[in-house]
């Protein structure tokens, strides 16, 4: 039996390896050209200690000095001893370059550019190479701006399907923006685009309690990929609620897709809120104004937050002010880059 192991490095690079249930993660990585830091290779020195974010595994043989019972209970393992019994995500406390690896690059072609609203484009890339582009739902890629030297922009994947030859993104229309200017004025189906990735530690962890997702603008994209993953897995064992905030009615996108996801995931619900006072939406104001006590479940909740920096900072401040101590809190800020 072979499992897929996502190695999540400190610099945000993620690499995927195959590991049989009978080999250690260190050995499997080495076989695939990735040198996870290690020393004794016998479970004695702790040089290879890592944290397993998701998946099941055997800890192997080791001494208590290398891995305490507390650490093991918190999800730490020794990569030289750990043997997976499912797909896993493993955080390696080292930069990818130290491990003799880096992000991978791909070339694909534009399949479709759609203007979803004045403020948002949908970009779909297609290419055989993308079948090899594995990522965790919520992660992002760097897309090179065609015809613009080495400039690239970071965008979260906005969909997720196994063995797909496509990759989708939501792209904010930034006045003077290099990528949005290209999409608005020059992009044609078939144009090649280079991309690299995946990157980022903002990805969906195993759902062990209710989940609250807070999205601002095109910060909706990673949640769409996460929800695709949940739907493909047959649903969620716990409620998931998404609050999606934008500035004006014209900025609201992908609600039909959210409705379709709500039909596929029975305990998923979502609410849209709009800052503009003249909005026709029932919920006006900012995302944090629409967080209800039930969504916070007395702190027994995993919170994911993605949006532009002022929105992320305001929501994080609000959660501190109302003294929410959630079981986990994950956030991603994205800043639009103009030319
Ligand atoms: Fe020494 Fe793994 S390399 S414990």
* Residue 76 confidence (pLDDT): 97
Task: Identify the domain containing residue 138 by its residue range.
Answer: 105-199
* Residue 337 confidence (pLDDT): 53
CA distance 230 to 6: 18
Question: End of a domain among 76, 99, 122?
Answer: 99
Measured between alpha carbons, how far is residue 67 from residues 55, 91, 222, 273, 329 in Å? 19, 16, 34, 47, 26
Could you tell me the pLDDT band of residue 338, with boundaries at 50, 70 and 90? Answer: very low
Q: What is the CATH number of the domain that holds 42?
A: 3.10.20.30
Task: Say yes or no to pLDDT of 317 above 50.
Answer: yes
Q: Are residues 10 and 110 in the same domain?
A: no
CA dihedral 313, 315, 321, 325 (to 10 degrees): -110
User: Which helix (H) or strand (E) element contains residue 328?
Assistant: strand 328-333
Contact status, residue 329 vs residue 296, Cβ threshold 8 Å: no
Answer whether residue 191 is part of any domain.
yes
Candidate from 65, 78, 83, 94 with most ligand 1 atoms within 8 A of CB, to mutate: 78
Given 3-state DSSP classes, what are the helix, strand and coil percentages for the chain, each rounded to the nearest 5?
A: 25, 35, 40
CA dihedral 79, 82, 86, 87 (to 10 degrees): 0
238 CB-near residues (< 8 Å, 6+ apart):
207, 208, 209, 210, 211, 267
DSSP SS3 for 338: coil
Task: Say yes or no to pLDDT of 87 above 60.
Answer: yes
Q: Are residues 195 and 227 in the same domain?
A: no
Separation of CA 75 and ligand 1 centre (Å): 16
Nearest-atom number in ligand 1 for the CA of 44 is 4
* Residue 163 confidence (pLDDT): 83
Q: Are residues 164 and 110 in the same domain?
A: yes
CA distance 156 to 171: 9
Nearest-atom number in ligand 1 for the CA of 46 is 4
Contact status, residue 192 vs residue 244, Cβ threshold 8 Å: no
Summarize pLDDT for 267-299 with one digit per residue, the tens. 999 999 999 999 999 999 999 999 999 999 999
* Residue 17 confidence (pLDDT): 95
What is the secondary structure of 158-208 as a DSSP string? ----TT-SEEEEEEE--TT-HHHHHHHHT--TT-EEEEEEEE-S--PPP--
Separation of CA 54 and ligand 1 centre (Å): 21
Separation of CA 81 and ligand 1 centre (Å): 8
Answer whether residue 338 is part of any domain.
no
Q: Are residues 161 and 47 in the same domain?
A: no
Question: End of a domain among 199, 227, 259?
Answer: 199
Candidate from 23, 28, 39 with most ligand 1 atoms within 8 A of CB, to mutate: 39
Separation of CA 44 and ligand 1 centre (Å): 6
Q: Are residues 142 and 165 in the same domain?
A: yes
Cis peptide before 198 (omega within 30 of 0): yes
Dihedral class, residue 165 (left if φ above 0, else alpha if ψ from -120 to 50, else beta): alpha
Rounded to 5 degrees, φ, ψ at 146 are -60, 135
CA distance 297 to 243: 15
CA distance 318 to 241: 18
DSSP SS3 for 267: coil
Nearest-atom number in ligand 1 for the CA of 45 is 1
Q: Are residues 223 and 328 in the same domain?
A: yes
* 8 burial type by CB count under 10 A (0-12 exposed, 13-18 middle, 19+ buried): buried
Q: Are residues 92 and 19 in the same domain?
A: yes
Separation of CA 45 and ligand 1 centre (Å): 5
Rounded to 5 degrees, φ, ψ at 198 are -85, 165
Answer whether residue 206 is part of any domain.
no
Candidate from 27, 29, 47 with most ligand 1 atoms within 8 A of CB, to mutate: 47
Summarize pLDDT for 111-158 with one digit per residue, the tens. 999 999 989 999 999 999 999 898 999 999 999 988 876 788 899 999
Q: What is the CATH number of the domain that holds 149?
A: 2.40.30.10
User: Strand 240-246 and strand 211-216: pairing?
Assistant: parallel
Answer whether residue 32 is part of any domain.
yes
* Residue 156 confidence (pLDDT): 95
| Binding-site residues, ligand 1, Cβ < 6 A | 38-41, 43-48, 66, 78, 80
DSSP SS3 for 320: helix
- Would you say how long the chain is, in residues? 339
Q: Which two tokens stand for residue 168?
A: 């989708």
Number of structural domains, the chain? 3
* Residue 150 confidence (pLDDT): 72
Could you tell me the pLDDT band of residue 175, with boundaries at 50, 70 and 90? Answer: confident
Q: Are residues 138 and 64 in the same domain?
A: no
Q: What is the CATH number of the domain that holds 260?
A: 3.40.50.80
Could you tell me the pLDDT band of residue 47, with boundaries at 50, 70 and 90? Answer: very high
Contact status, residue 53 vs residue 90, Cβ threshold 8 Å: yes
Question: End of a domain among 172, 199, 226?
Answer: 199
Answer whether residue 204 is part of any domain.
no
* 132 burial type by CB count under 10 A (0-12 exposed, 13-18 middle, 19+ buried): exposed
Q: Are residues 133 and 187 in the same domain?
A: yes
Q: Are residues 23 and 52 in the same domain?
A: yes
């Amino acid at each position: 039996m072979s499992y897929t192991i996502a190695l999540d490095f400190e610099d945000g690079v993620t690499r995927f390896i195959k590991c049989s249930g009978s080999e250690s993660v260190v050995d499997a990585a080495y076989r695939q050209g990735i040198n996870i830091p290690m020393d004794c290779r016998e479970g004695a020195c702790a040089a290879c200690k890592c944290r397993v974010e998701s998946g099941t595994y055997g800890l192997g043989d080791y001494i208590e000095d290398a891995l305490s019972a507390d650490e093991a209970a918190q999800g730490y393992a020794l990569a030289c001893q750990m043997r997976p019994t499912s797909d896993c995500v493993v955080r390696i406390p080292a930069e990818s370059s130290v491990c003799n690896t880096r992000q991978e690059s791909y070339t694909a072609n534009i399949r479709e550019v759609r203007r979803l609203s004045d403020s948002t484009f949908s970009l779909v890339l297609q290419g055989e190479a993308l079948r090899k582009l594995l990522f965790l739902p919520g992660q992002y890629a760097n897309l090179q701006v065609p015809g613009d030297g080495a400039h690239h922009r970071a965008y979260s994947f906005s969909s997720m399907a196994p063995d797909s030859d496509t990759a989708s993104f939501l792209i904010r229309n930034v006045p003077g923006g290099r990528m949005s200017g290209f999409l608005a004025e020059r992009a044609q189906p078939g144009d090649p685009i280079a991309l690299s990735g995946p990157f980022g530690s903002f990805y969906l962890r195993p759902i062990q309690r209710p989940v609250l997702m807070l999205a601002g603008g095109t910060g909706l994209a990673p949640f769409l990929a996460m929800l695709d993953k949940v739907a493909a897995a047959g649903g969620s064992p716990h409620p998931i609620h998404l609050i999606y905030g934008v500035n004006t009615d014209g900025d609201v996108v992908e609600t039909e897709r959210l409705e379709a996801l709500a039909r596929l995931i029975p305990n998923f619900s979502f609410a849209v809120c709009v800052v503009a006072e003249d909005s026709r939406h029932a919920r006006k104001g900012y995302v944090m104004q629409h967080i209800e006590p039930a969504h916070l479940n007395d702190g027994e909740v995993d919170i994911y937050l993605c949006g532009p920096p002022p929105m992320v900072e305001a929501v994080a401040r609000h959660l501190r002010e109302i003294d929410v101590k959630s079981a986990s809190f994950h956030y991603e800020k994205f800043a639009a880059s103009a030319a």
